[in-house]
Each structure stands twice: as structure tokens, then as C-alpha cells.
Amino acid sequence: MTSKYSDREAYRALLSGRPVWQVGSFEATLFYPSVIPDSMARAFVIEAGSRFGQYTGGADMFGVEWEFVPQVGGSTVRPGNPTLTDITEWPDVLKWPDVENWDWEGSARTNKDFFDENKFNNMAFMNGWFERLVSLMDFSEAVMALIDEEQEDAVKSFFDKLTDTYIDIFDRSIQCFPNIDGFWIHDDWGGQQNTFFSPETCNEMIVPYMKRVTDFLHSKGKHCDFHSCGSLARQIPNIIAAGWDSWTPQFGANDVEAIYDQYGDRILIGVTYDWPDPEADETMQIQAVSQFVNKYCREDKLCLLNIERSRKISPLIQEEIKKQSAAKFAQNRQK
């Protein structure tokens, strides 16, 4: 199917509430720049001249060492020797990142031709607020710091300064990489069965600082996508309150259809679908697309096609999604 719109224009159209076809990962790219130490520490660098797996751990922006774990394809901090044993001591213990002196100009030169002008370019950022606390304190101590009244003020002051730093990083990123359309920010909040902390704790201890970041990015015209794994149905009101434009629920840990039905008019949900095998009969594949389009391609409740599952979609289904959704959205506009 040919179109007068580029993939980037189609993505922006859906975000503006005027979709021309159903978009998802096929219309977007990801950028993990090595100028941010956490990209290398977490073994996720995607930029000009890099190859996935080239970096296998190292120090993040706070000097915390991450170790690559081949079985999971990523890095983790070895527990048992935390940088912080007492969050109240963070002003004296932590060496704050010198963001200004990172090689922003060099990264801008390296990546000047990296971005595809026809795609929606997302910049990924590892280690949000809770993940940062875990990396510095270990998991149990980080959770305790969030809920212990005696540590509450110290956590809030730490998150406040951390948010200042994140806004500085994003501001410099926007200046150096003007083709960035949105930010894909990581902060895992749960396991397979439940969240790591209560909605009330999240609302008080994390949401206000996230909202400062999303407000800043929105003021710059950037899309804000939240990447958070775990069973998070209880936290969706907080995700919305924090200002995120979209969130892709982890497949297998969430009832994605139920989440879309309940919250899809308030936030863009990255939806999954039980697609036929790429080798299945063409009629079966086309029928599956028709069912998907009838369910999810609604202008009153838009969505994004789930990134992690879309890799298994056949070229025929990709083409049919574009064709059938474009026809439905065009028909809706004529009513």
C-alpha cells in the first residue's frame, strides 16, 4: 500500500488524534546514545557505528558498576555492596554526574546521519527513579526507603535533584539531536504478579517527579512513552497522573485487552494480539487483521501496536493492518 504520508507523519497523526493508519514499532526507531553512561552500563547502545551487544556493562552516571548477564541479554547491579546504605547520607556519599562535560558535541557529530527522517525517532533512557534507587541501595532497601517515614524526606530530596539532572540531560539531548520526536523512559515497577509498592506510595513518592519531566518534554513538543515492566494494573492511574502519553503493558503479566478497554481513552496502550503464524493461510491472516482493526482501531480509543510482539507479525499482516486501518479511519472521518 502506498501513501502520501511518511511513517513519521502517520505516527504524529495518530498522536494528534487524527490517525491515517494504525502505527506501532514499524513506523518508529529507537536511539540509545552512548554519551549517556547508563546506555553502556545497561548494555543498550543503539547509535551510529554501534552494534547491539558491543557494550557489556560498566559504570553508570553515578559510578555504579553493572554486570552483563548473557541469559537475560542485559546488565544488573550485583547486590550486597550498595553505594548507599542510608538514603539520608546521599548528599555526602554520592558523586553527582557531570552532565555538562559529557561529550555532547562529539555524540551529535557521530549521530548526525543516524536518524531516519521518515520514521518517528524515540530516544530511550534507562534507569528512572525507582530503578535508580535500587541501583544505589539494592532492592529491599530501596523499597523500604520509599515507605519508611524516617527516610521519606531524604528520598524526596534525592528524587528532586535527580529530576533536575534528568531534565538537564533531556534538554541537552533535544539540542544535540533535533530529530528526536519522543522519549522512551524506563522505570520498572513490578514483577509478574504484582507491583513493588502500593499505588499510594507511588503517587506520593514518584509521580510528582515524573510529572516534572513529562511537563518539560511536553513543553518541547515531545512524546512521552513509559517503559515499565511488571503487573501494573493497580498503577495505571499513577502512570496517567505522571503525564505519560503511552505505555506498553508487559505481555504475559497484564490483561492488555482489559487495560485497553478501561483506560484506552485516557492513555495510548501498546496492545498485543494473538496473530496467526507467519506461515498460516493468507485468509486466516487477513481475517485476524479484520478482527484486530474492528477491536482496536477506534478514534475514540486509539492505541499503539505492541513493540515486543510485533516482530512476529508477517509482512502480509503488516500490510493488511496498514490497509484495513487506513480504510476504517478514513471512513470514520467521512461520517
Claim to verify: residue 84 and residue 228 sit in the same structural domain = yes
Q: Is the pLDDT of residue 310 over 60?
A: no
Helices (H), the chain: 7-15, 37-41, 90-93, 104-110, 130-137, 139-147, 149-176, 199-205, 207-219, 236-241, 256-263, 282-296, 307-310, 315-334
Domains: count for the chain = 2
> pLDDT band for position 71 (50/70/90)?
confident
Judged against a pLDDT cut of 60, whether residue 286 lies above it is answered with yes
Please report which confidence band the pLDDT of residue 78 belongs to, taking 50, 70 and 90 as the band edges: confident
Angstrom distance (rounded) from CA 335 to CA 327: 13
Residue 121 has pLDDT above 60, yes or no: yes
Give residue-wise pLDDT tens across range 266-282: 999 999 888 999 899 99
Strand duo 223-227 + 182-186: pairing: parallel
Q: Are residues 219 and 296 in the same domain?
A: no
3-class SS letters over 232-259: CHHHHHHHHHCCCCEECCCECCECHHHH
- Over the chain, what is the mean pLDDT? 94
User: So what's the pLDDT on residue 251?
Assistant: 86
Task: Flag whether pLDDT at 136 surpasses 60.
Answer: yes
Residue 308's pLDDT is: 62
pLDDT tops 90 at residue 85? yes
Q: Percent of the chain at pLDDT above 70? A: 96
Confidence of residue 52 (pLDDT cuts 50, 70, 90): low
Question: Around 98, how many Cα atoms within 13 Å sit in the side-chain half-sphere?
Answer: 4
pLDDT tops 80 at residue 19: yes
Looking at the fold, whether 210 and 92 belong to one and the same domain comes out as yes
The DSSP call for residue 89 is G
**Residue 234, domain extent:** 27-272
Q: Are 120 and 12 in contact (CB under 8 A)?
A: yes
- pLDDT at residue 73, as a whole number: 76
Alpha-carbon gap, residue 198 to 203, rounded angstroms: 9
Given 272, 302, 318, which residue is the final one in a domain? Answer: 272
Cα distance between residue 41 and residue 126, in whole Å: 9
Same domain, 34 and 4: no
Do both 155 and 251 map to the same domain?
Answer: yes
| CATH code: domain of residue 68 | 3.20.20.210
pLDDT of residue 307: 62
Q: Which of 221, 252, 272 is the last residue of a domain?
A: 272
- Which positions ≥6 away from 149 have C-beta within 8 Å? none
Q: Give the mean pLDDT of 221-234.
A: 97
Over 70: is that where the pLDDT of 254 sits? yes
User: Are both 179 and 281 inside the same structural domain?
Assistant: no
- Asked whether the predicted pLDDT for residue 309 surpasses 60, the reply is no
Q: pLDDT band at residue 312, thresholds of 50, 70 and 90?
A: confident
Please give the pLDDT value at position 203: 98
Q: Residue 40 above 70 pLDDT?
A: yes
Last residue of a domain, one of 272, 290, 322: 272
* 335 pLDDT above the threshold of 70: no
User: Quick check: 334 pLDDT over 80?
Assistant: no
Does one domain contain both 78 and 193?
yes
Q: Look up cell 487524527; give the residue.
A: 18
For residue 302, give the nearest of 75, 84, 106, 23 by alpha carbon.
23
Same domain membership, residue 8 and residue 51: no
Burial class (CB in 10 A: 0-12, 13-18, 19+), 166: buried
pLDDT tens by residue, 163-198: 999 999 999 999 999 999 999 999 999 999 999 999
- Sequence letter at residue 70: P
Average pLDDT over residues 87-103: 97
69: pLDDT strictly greater than 90: no
Give the Cα separation of 309 and 292 in Å (integer).
14
Indicate if 144 and 257 belong to the same structural domain.
yes
Same domain, 132 and 171: yes
What percentage of the chain carries pLDDT values higher than 90? 85
Question: Do 285 and 248 belong to one domain?
Answer: no
pTM over the 0.85 mark: yes
**Which of these, 89, 195, 82, 193, lies nearest to 141 by C-alpha position?**
82
Asked if residue 138 and residue 66 are part of one domain, the reply reads: yes
